[in-house]
Amino acid sequence: MTNSNETSNQVTFVANALEAFIRIGVVALLILWCFRIGRPFIQIILWGVIIAVALHPIHYKIKSIIGGRGKLAAVLITLFALVIVVTVGVMLSGTLIDGAKTLSFKIKEGTLAVPPAPQGVKNWPIIGKPLYQVWRLASVNLAAALSKFTPQLTAFSQWLLTNAAYTGVGILKFIVSIFIAGIFLTKADAGYKAAKSIGTRLAGEQGVELVNLAGSTLRSVVKGIIGVAVIQSLLTGIGCLAAGVPGAGLWALLVLILAVAQLPTLLVLGPLIVYVFSSASMATAVLFTIWSLFVGLCDNFLKPILLGRGVKVPMVIVFIGAIGGFINSGIIGLFIGAIVFVVGYQLFLAWLHQKAAPVEELA
């Protein structure tokens, strides 16, 4: 009798396990199928969510001013954001594409003129002497200097043209994301309730706290990192246009990438200063130098104001997120990667702190 019961239990266990496996397989297949269908739109929707969360405080203020009309407030914010994106995109995308084509053509043809290297470059630590030698050779015989870096320059020029060609696509993605953000803003309350429900489902009682932490971190990163980077990029483009530097959009884009990745923008602005000194009047060069130094150093006082005192993010976290996102998804991934990686880092720290507390109490 006992053997019969054990056999029956085993059969029941196998049947239940097989049924559970089939159910899990069907659910996994459905999730994978939905992911593949929605994959082309994930980045755009995610960026729309980020914009909506970042602009929610502004939406709330405008909504209060105009008598609680949330849809009208969302429409006003959407139109204002579209005007900014379209205006900046039209102004800089043309110079970006033209500058990329011109620079790529000059590099391939060997007609790019390089000004003489300043003597002070030799005194730079570590890279000073080799950089001075390469720079001096390039100013005297550019073809010989380029021949040493032909594979790298060819790859760089191809990458430059490819990314310049996708500028219009990137602007179009930003425009679609702004429309999506406007839709999310009209449903802000329902969206917050849904986020709290998901957080509670995933993390229990701590879910709401983690959702609030993610929202505050996201807004701080958008203002303190993305916002400052956009400001530095726009100021770079304005300075280059005023000084007559060709390819202003290209240099603005490079400054944007460096600023989001938390790298010194003077890596781009420094060579531009040298170029302006060699090609423009002394007054223009001095003014451009002052402007460039201001652009390169303005993040030192803008970030503490905009980032928020409660959000301390290591530079390496932002760097990995920005560069990884840019490699995988282009210009829009530059922003999404930095934000998502920082938010994930903050949530991980919160989870780690919560898990570590009981251990300290037992000790």
pLDDT given for residue 361 in this prediction:
40
pLDDT given for residue 195 in this prediction:
80
Judge whether residue 140 has pLDDT over 80.
Answer: no
Q: What is the 3-state secondary structure (H, E, C) of the chain?
A: CHHHHHHHHHHHHHHHHHHHHHHHHHHHHHHHHHHHHHHHHHHHHHHHHHHHHHHHHHHHHHHHHCCCCHHHHHHHHHHHHHHHHHHHHHHHHHHHHHHHHHHHHHHHHCCCCCCCCCHHHHHCCCCHHHHHHHHHHHHHCHHHHHHCCHHHHHHHHHHHHHHHHCHHHHHHHHHHHHHHHHHHHHCHHHHHHHHHHHHHHHHHHHHHHHHHHHHHHHHHHHHHHHHHHHHHHHHHHHHHHHHCCCCHHHHHHHHHHHHHCCCCCHHHHHHHHHHHHHHCCHHHHHHHHHHHHHHHHCHHHHHHHHHCCCCCCCHHHHHHHHHHHHHHHHHHHHHHHHHHHHHHHHHHHHHHHHHHHHHHHHC
Segment 41-58, tens digit of pLDDT: 888 888 888 888 888 888
pTM above 0.75, yes or no: no
In the chain, where the domains are located: 45-186, 217-352
pLDDT level of residue 225 (50, 70, 90 thresholds): confident
CA–CA separation, 93 and 164 (whole Å): 8
* Backbone φ and ψ of 205, nearest 5°: -65, -25
pLDDT given for residue 362 in this prediction:
34
- What is the arithmetic mean of pLDDT over 142-162? 64
Judge whether residue 1 has pLDDT over 60.
Answer: no
pLDDT given for residue 267 in this prediction:
84
- What is the arithmetic mean of pLDDT over 66-72? 85
- What is the arithmetic mean of pLDDT over 203-217? 76
Please report, in angstroms and rounded to a whole number, the separation of the first and last CA atoms in the chain: 51
- What is the arithmetic mean of pLDDT over 117-136? 67
Percent of all residues in the chain with a pLDDT value above 90, rounded to a whole number? 2
Judge whether residue 360 has pLDDT over 50.
Answer: no
CA–CA separation, 325 and 335 (whole Å): 7
pLDDT level of residue 291 (50, 70, 90 thresholds): very high
pLDDT given for residue 310 in this prediction:
52
Residue 21 or residue 331, greater confidence = 21
Residue 204 or residue 238, greater confidence = 238
pLDDT level of residue 29 (50, 70, 90 thresholds): very high
pLDDT given for residue 356 in this prediction:
45
Most confident of 3-12, 83-92, 244-253, 346-355: 244-253
Amino acid at 297: L
Residues 6+ apart with CB under 8 A from 118: 274
CB 318 within 8 A of CB 338: yes
Percent of all residues in the chain with a pLDDT value above 70, rounded to a whole number? 70
Judge whether residue 200 has pLDDT over 70.
Answer: yes
Segment 256-275, tens digit of pLDDT: 888 887 788 888 888 888 88
